[in-house]
């Protein structure tokens, strides 16, 4: 297991990077990206088998960010891991950049373009099935939003994954309870969500999506049941890490003012200091 203090430090640093990217670009999905930062931090610094020097390494684990609008934390982590230069983060959402507002497979480390919700899981099913057919040991992870669960293609993918017994497939739901127009249960009721996934033949495990130690333990144990795909229901807080952004729907795609940016950066600097770094 990776030291939890290290992971906390990384998560706080990634949050600072993504907030700066959004502030300087005057565009982005702040709350959504803050929500998934801890999940991506554990995946990329503790779980996934990848090689930044060989992003197309045949035996790498595959990751698909199905909730592609929350791309800022993803780009920040890929840069920090060395898939591309950190200086390129300054070009986020600028003219001519490859760091556009949704994952772009021209960026090393990005498996596919995403952003049209409901596409990530079906493609992940295909990748996992290919591994089974080719006798390869890589795993496929995909991170979905909870509002995304209203997409019919998600459930087609869920059904296929169970049918083909894809225990090398791990789906994670960023269950923060909010989507662009409000609470998920108001926009399109999802509950009982765990039972729905179980009825489609998946092994479902719940986790605190901001408890880095718990996430490490859960994700290190996949697959939970031979012959079954795994669904991790990660309970999160939209806007996590910046107090005045937490659980506020406006920050789904809100861009901070100079004053808000400075307040947020001060809070994140304090979070880094608490980890015993810098």
- The pair phi, psi for residue 128, each rounded to 5°, is -65, -40
- The per-residue pLDDT for range 31-59, each reduced to its tens digit, is 999 999 999 999 999 999 999 999 999 99
- The per-residue pLDDT for range 165-179, each reduced to its tens digit, is 999 999 999 999 888
CA distances from 119 to 99, 251, 271 (A): 20, 24, 35
What superfamily in CATH does domain 4-274 come from?
Thiamin diphosphate (ThDP)-binding fold, Pyr/PP domains (3.40.50.970)
- The per-residue pLDDT for range 69-98, each reduced to its tens digit, is 999 999 999 999 999 999 999 999 999 999
H helix or E strand, kind and range, residue 155: helix 152-163
What 3-state DSSP class applies to 81? helix
What's 44's DSSP letter?
I
pTM score of the predicted model = 0.96
């Amino acid at each position: 297991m990776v030291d939890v203090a290290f992971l906390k430090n990384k998560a706080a640093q990634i949050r600072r990077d993504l907030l700066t990217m959004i502030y300087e670009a005057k565009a982005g999905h702040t709350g959504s990206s803050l929500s998934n930062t801890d999940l991506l931090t554990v995946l990329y610094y503790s779980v996934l088998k990848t090689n930044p020097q060989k992003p197309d390494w045949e035996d790498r684990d595959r990751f698909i960010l199905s909730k592609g609008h929350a791309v800022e934390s993803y780009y920040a982590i890929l840069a920090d891991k060395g898939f591309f230069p950190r200086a390129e983060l300054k070009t986020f959402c600028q003219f001519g950049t490859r760091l556009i507002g949704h994952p772009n497979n021209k960026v090393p480390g990005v498996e596919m373009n995403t952003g049209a919700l409901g596409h990530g899981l079906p493609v992940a099913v295909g990748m996992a099935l290919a591994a089974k057919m080719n006798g390869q040991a890589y795993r496929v992870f995909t991170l979905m939003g909870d509002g995304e669960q209203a997409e019919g293609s998600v459930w087609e993918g869920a059904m296929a994954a169970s049918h083909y017994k894809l225990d090398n497939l791990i789906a994670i739901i960023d269950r923060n309870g909010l989507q662009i127009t409000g609470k998920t249960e108001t926009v399109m009721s999802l509950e009982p969500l765990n039972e729905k996934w179980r009825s489609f033949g998946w092994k479902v495990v719940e986790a605190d999506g901001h408890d880095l130690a718990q996430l490490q333990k859960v994700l290190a144990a996949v697959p939970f049941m031979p012959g079954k795909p795994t669904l991790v229901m990660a309970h999160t807080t939209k806007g996590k890490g910046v107090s005045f952004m937490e659980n506020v729907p406006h920050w789904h795609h809100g861009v901070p003012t100079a004053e808000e940016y400075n307040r947020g950066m001060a809070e994140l600097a304090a979070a880094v200091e608490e980890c015993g770094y810098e």
